[in-house]
Each structure stands twice: as C-alpha cells, then as structure tokens.
Structure 1
Amino acid sequence: MITIKDIARLANVSHTTVSRALNNSPLIKEPTKRKILEIASQLNYSPNVNAKSLVMQKSHTIGLFLTSISNGTSSSFLADTIKGVNSMITNEYNLFIRGIDDYEDYTSINSQRFDGIILMSQSVSDNSFIYHVLQKEIPLVVLNREVEETSIPNVLSNDTEGARMAVEYLITNGHHHIAIIEGTPSFKSSYMRKEGYLQALMEAGIPIKKEYSIQGNYDMESGSQAMEQLLSLTSPPTAVFCSNDDMAIGAMNTVFARGLSVPYDISIVGFDDIGFSQYTTPRLTTVKRPVEEISRVGVERLLSLIGGKEEEVERTFMKTELIVRDSVRMLS
C-alpha cells in the first residue's frame, strides 16, 4: 500500500509537505504541489480516511435520522428523503441512516461519530434528540417539521395549506360529504393535514361529521381498512381526502374490491405525489410535497454549517402544489 512517506521519498520532500500538498494547503508553492500531486496520481495513491479523520478530528460521516423507519414512515417518503440527501453529499462523506426510536439513549451520538446531522422530524417526541445533538455541538438541520428552536436551520413544506387546497378542490367539484383518512397519530404532519381539511370545510360552511374522520397509519393497509369503514356507513361520503398517497392507493383498492368505481362512485385525493400516483387507475389527484427538494436544501444548509460558513439561520417553507389528475368527479 502506497503511503505519504513513499511519495515524500520520490518527491524529495518531507512527509509534512506531502500532506499539506494533498490537502491543498496555501503554504505549499504551486510547482511543488503539482509535482507531488503528479507522483501521487502515478502511484494511484488513496488517502487513509480513518487516519485523516483522527488528525483532523472529523468522522467524514453525516447522520440522517428519522423519527422512525419502521413505524408510520411510508417507503416512498423514506426513498425520496434518502435520494434527496444522497444526491447532495460528496464522496468525502459516508451517510448513516437510522430511526430515533431504535435508541434507548443517545450516548453514542457525539461529534466524534458525526460531522453533522440531518433530522427528518415527524413528531414532537424528537425534541429530546434535538436537544442532545445541540448539547453535543454537532451541526444540525431539521427537516419536515417546524421547530421552535430558532438557532436551528429548518426546512419544511406547508402541509396545512396543501391539504386545504385539496379539500377546496373537492368542494369546487360539488362535493359536500367529504371524509378524511388521517395519518399516523403522533406525527405533526397528520395534525397539519387534518387542520387544512377542517379549515376548508369551515370556510365553505360544510358541517363537520365525526364519523367522516378515520384514523390511518400512513400505509396502504390502513388506507384500505379506513375506506372499508367509510363505505360501511349509512351515508357514505362522496369524496375522501387521504393524508398521504399510500393510504389513497389502499383506499382505491377497497373501492374496486367492493365492485365500485373511482371517481364515479367515490372521489379520492391523496397527498405527497409519490411516483406511483400517476400510474394508478385512475391516475391519482394529489398534493405535491417536494420531499426530495426539502432534503437537498437541508443538505446544502448542513454542509455550510460544517464548513463554518456564517449564514443567517432561517425557517424555509417549500411550496405544496395541487396536481389534478383523474380521481375526482365533478358532481352536478
């Protein structure tokens, strides 16, 4: 294995000079730097990241944490989050992914293990983790959920506004009997989306029916079961707002299993605009929430923090957008 000492011997310089040249130090003259880099290239030199980490006190690891990976987090949400983060991380960093609920305590979360942490936060139960990371002085960016701590860069979408748009669209299409399949109870997004649903109904003067609110868990199975309950009511709704697309797809499946049709017997709107949404039959009308974009912006903020750039800490809201497709019928 080629070492810095081998390069130093061939270049006739000290190993300190080689180290500085490889780390692009301004203390090394350009001709010397070029000579060292040329020799390193010819020898196919690969730096020992672990040794470098010990010297520079860097782990070269970025942590991506979610409230939970196995409970209430849809596979599409997880995939979009990882895709967005991974697209922005350079080869200098390894990506470590974990659910907060996997930990009994946070003693292993420290600055020796992580250069920075991105938290895709779904619940206020994450606050103890957030305070631990701040206490350990690890650069942190929180995504997806609005946090009160003003010292943390915070990137999220306005889910309440998105849900309100979706339900308003149903109302403009003549629907007044509109149900909601809610998301995972402990997740802030579930609360925000129900808030948007209620706002739209109240502004339109439509009575709120308790039996039209069914609890789901952000997965297809709970969407299917919730739709079963709604269709079994004495007066079923004409339209359903599902708090995410996975539950909307599960709900559509139950409608078809009952020998009914979407949208002619019942209209359905989802939330998230996952990849499958445009390939369902009919194609699903939904609210686009830019999870990938939120993740990318989050990484940009984190890399700036790690690099020591003094930036104004701010809360950034990414716009949601109603994507109209074929799953809503206009009532006469």
Structure 2
Amino acid sequence: MVTIKDIAKLANVSHTTVSRALNDSPLIKPGTKKKIQELAEQLNYTPNFNAKSLVMQKSYTIGLFFTSISNGTSSSFFADTVTGVNSVINEDYNLFVRGIDDYHDFSSIRHHRFDGIILMSQSESDNAFIYHVLNQKIPIVVINREVSDQSIINILSNDREGSCDAVKYLIQNGHKDIAIMEGIKGFKSTIERREGYLQALIDHQIPIRNEYIVDGNYDMESGFRAMGKLLSLKNPPTAVFCSNDDMAVGALNAAFARGLTVPSDISVIGFDDIQSAQYTNPSLTTVKKPIEKISRLGAEKILKVLEEKENKAEKIFVETELILRNSVSARK
C-alpha cells in the first residue's frame, strides 16, 4: 500500500508537504502541488484517515447518540434512526453510535474525536450532555425532543397533536371508555403523548379515569402486562391508546390470550407506525411519526454545518399523520 512517505521520497519533499498538497493547501506552490497530486494518482494512493485527520484537525467521525439504547429505545425506533442518518452520511465519515447512559462522565467526548454530533434526544436528562458538547464547540443537531436553547438546530414532530388526533378518532367512533398505555417515565414523548390523550378527553368533556392510565415501558412485554391490567378492571375500557406500536402489539396479544377479538371487543391504536404495524392481525391503526425522515434531516443539517462552517440555529417541525387500518371499530 502506497503511503505519504513513499510519495514524499519520490517527489523529494517532506511528508508534511505531501499532506498539505493532497489536501489542496494554499501554502504549497501550485507547481509542487500539481506534481505531488499527479504522483499520487499514478500510484493509486488512498488517503489514510488517521494521518489526514492529524493534518486537517478533523476526526472524520460523526456521533449518533441516544438517551439510552438499552432502556426505552425499541429496536424499530433504533433501526429507523440509524437508517435515516446512515442514508445521508457518506463514506467520508465514520458513524459512531452510542447511548448517553453508557458514560459515567463525558470527558472522552472531545472535539478531536467528533466533527459533529446528532442527538436522538428522549429525555431532559440529556441536557447535561448537550451543554458539554456545546462547551467542547462540537456542532450538534438535536432531533426528536424540543430544546429551549435557541442556538441549536432542533428537528422534531408534534407528538402531542398526533396523540390528540388518535384519541379524537376513537371518540368519533363512539368510544368514551378510553385507556392509555404510557411510555417510560421522564421521557419527553411519554409526557407529550399523555398530554394529547388528556386534551382530547377534555375537549369532548369525557371524564378522566385514573384506572385507565397505566404504566408501560415502550416494549411489547409491558404492553402485554398493561393490557392484562386494563382487562381485569371491573369496567374495562372499550378502546386503548398505546404510546408506541411495540406496546400496541403486546396489547393485541393480551386481548387474544383472553379470547377477545380486536376490534369488535376492544379497539387498539398505536403510535410511530413501525414497519410491522401493517402486518399485525388485525393491521394496526397508528400515528405515523416519521423517525427516519427526522433522522435523515438531522444528518443533512450536520453535514451542512460541517461543510459551510456555519451553524444557523433553527427549529423544524415534521408533521405526524394518523394511519387508518383495522384495529379500531365503531362502538355499537
């Protein structure tokens, strides 16, 4: 494999001169630069990113961080996020994926390790991480959760409005006994989706019943358990809004396990529109949260910041959409 030192020897210059010439530095004379670049082409030279990063003071690494990968991030949510980011990040950059909760402190997150960071933020507990990154002067784009810092590029969808639309759809179908399966406590999405649920009930003057508000953990098992709890009530609900699709899948299975039919015995609606939602039995009515689109936009924005060396703060909202399938029916 040809190295910078090989080219330097043949051109009778220092390896620093070769590095600068290959990176089109204005410090090198045009004639010398042309000679070195032609030599590199003839020898099929491939850049060594470690060496290149020393000269350019770049890491050629973009960090994709989650609040947590192991706690509350479903496999479909994780996959959609990585797919969206990866579709934009080209081969010039390495993509580093990690959960913030993997770190005892953030001392290893420094400018020479990351050119830019995309944060899939799920909780306000991420704020300490955000401020560390800003102090390190690493460009950051925060996606999924609204942040108050006006200096940050922030891309998110309106979870509250989406969940309100979902519950209003149940009400339009004659349901009044409507339960909610909540997500992880402290996650912003959990709070926003509960607020949307409550808003829909208040707007239609439907009493809020505490026994219809049950805890979940954004996974299928917690959805199964929560549905079992709801079906054991003296007056079980006729419809359930699940704060994500994974819990909705668990809820469907819990209903079937008790010999009930969805949607004729109980209606179920989810949130996210994961890929498998259209293949459940019955297919799942849900709110489409365009995670992949949000993630793709986040990656496009971080690359633009790195290319233009200018961070123009902005807040971008991506609309949710109610997807009607077969897990909801009109109340007789």
Q: Cα–Cα, structure 1 residues 31 and 170, in superposed 2: closer, same or farther, change >3 Å? A: farther
CA deviation after TM superposition for structure 1 residue 264, in Å: 0.7
Q: Which residue of 2 aligns with 1:69?
A: 69
In the alignment, structure 1 residue 237 sits paired with structure 2 residue 237: yes
Q: Which residue of 2 aligns with 1:279?
A: 279
Question: 2: distance between equivalents of 1:228 and 1:234?
Answer: 12
Q: Which residue of 2 aligns with 1:215?
A: 215
Return the letter of the residue paired with 1:190: T
Residues 232-253 of structure 1: CA deviation (Å, up to 9, x unaligned):
0111111000000000000000
Question: 1: distance between equivalents of 2:103 and 2:310?
Answer: 32
CA deviation after TM superposition for structure 1 residue 4, in Å: 2.8
Q: Which residue of 2 aligns with 1:162?
A: 162
Q: Which residue of 2 aligns with 1:97?
A: 97
In the alignment, structure 1 residue 325 sits paired with structure 2 residue 325: yes
Q: Which residue of 2 aligns with 1:106?
A: 106
Question: 2: distance between equivalents of 1:116 and 1:310?
Answer: 12
Return the letter of the residue paired with 1:186: G
Question: 2: distance between equivalents of 1:30 and 1:228?
Answer: 75
Residues 70-122 of structure 1: CA deviation (Å, up to 9, x unaligned):
01111111111111111111111111111111111111111011111111111
Classify the secondary structure of the residue corresponding to 2:79: helix
In the alignment, structure 1 residue 204 sits paired with structure 2 residue 204: yes
Question: 2: distance between equivalents of 1:250 and 1:37?
Answer: 60
In the alignment, structure 1 residue 297 sits paired with structure 2 residue 306: no
Q: Which residue of 1 aligns with 2:313?
A: 313
Question: 2: distance between equivalents of 1:14 and 1:309?
Answer: 30
Identity %: 67
Residues 150-185 of structure 1: CA deviation (Å, up to 9, x unaligned):
111101110000000101111111111110000011
Deviates more, 1:8-17 or 1:158-167: 8-17
CA deviation after TM superposition for structure 1 residue 29, in Å: 9.0
Question: 1: distance between equivalents of 2:28 and 2:136?
Answer: 35
Question: 1: distance between equivalents of 2:311 and 2:66?
Answer: 25
Is the CA contact (8 Å cut-off) linking 2:20 and 2:55 kept in structure 1? no
Question: 2: distance between equivalents of 1:178 and 1:97?
Answer: 38
Question: 1: distance between equivalents of 2:265 and 2:310?
Answer: 56
Question: 1: distance between equivalents of 2:199 and 2:38?
Answer: 65
Return the letter of the residue paired with 2:130: I
Is the CA contact (8 Å cut-off) linking 2:223 and 2:248 kept in structure 1? yes
In the alignment, structure 1 residue 144 sits paired with structure 2 residue 144: yes
Is the CA contact (8 Å cut-off) linking 2:19 and 2:55 kept in structure 1? no
Return the letter of the residue paired with 1:45: Y
Q: Which residue of 2 aligns with 1:269?
A: 269
Is the CA contact (8 Å cut-off) linking 2:242 and 2:268 kept in structure 1? yes
Question: 1: distance between equivalents of 2:30 and 2:58?
Answer: 27
Return the letter of the residue paired with 1:195: E
Question: 1: distance between equivalents of 2:302 and 2:28?
Answer: 30
Classify the secondary structure of the residue corresponding to 1:306: helix
Q: Which residue of 2 aligns with 1:84?
A: 84
Q: Which residue of 1 aligns with 2:251?
A: 251
Question: 2: distance between equivalents of 1:38 and 1:258?
Answer: 74
Residues 256-288 of structure 1: CA deviation (Å, up to 9, x unaligned):
111111111100000000001001011000000
RMSD: 2.0
CA deviation after TM superposition for structure 1 residue 39, in Å: 4.3
Classify the secondary structure of the residue corresponding to 1:247: helix
Return the letter of the residue paired with 1:199: Q
Classify the secondary structure of the residue corresponding to 2:87: helix
Residues 290-309 of structure 1: CA deviation (Å, up to 9, x unaligned):
11111111111112222344
Return the letter of the residue paired with 1:296: R
> Runs of 5+ in structure 1 lacking a partner?
none
Deviates more, 1:48-57 or 1:25-34: 25-34
Return the letter of the residue paired with 2:220: M
Question: 1: distance between equivalents of 2:283 and 2:326?
Answer: 5
Return the letter of the residue paired with 2:292: E
Deviates more, 1:23-32 or 1:166-175: 23-32
Q: Cα–Cα, structure 1 residues 16 and 102, in superposed 2: closer, same or farther, change >3 Å? A: closer
Q: Which residue of 1 aligns with 2:133?
A: 133
Q: Which residue of 2 aligns with 1:55?
A: 55
Q: Cα–Cα, structure 1 residues 5 and 102, in superposed 2: closer, same or farther, change >3 Å? A: closer
TM-score (structure 2 length as normaliser): 0.94
| Length, aligned pairs only | 332
Question: 2: distance between equivalents of 1:34 and 1:127?
Answer: 48
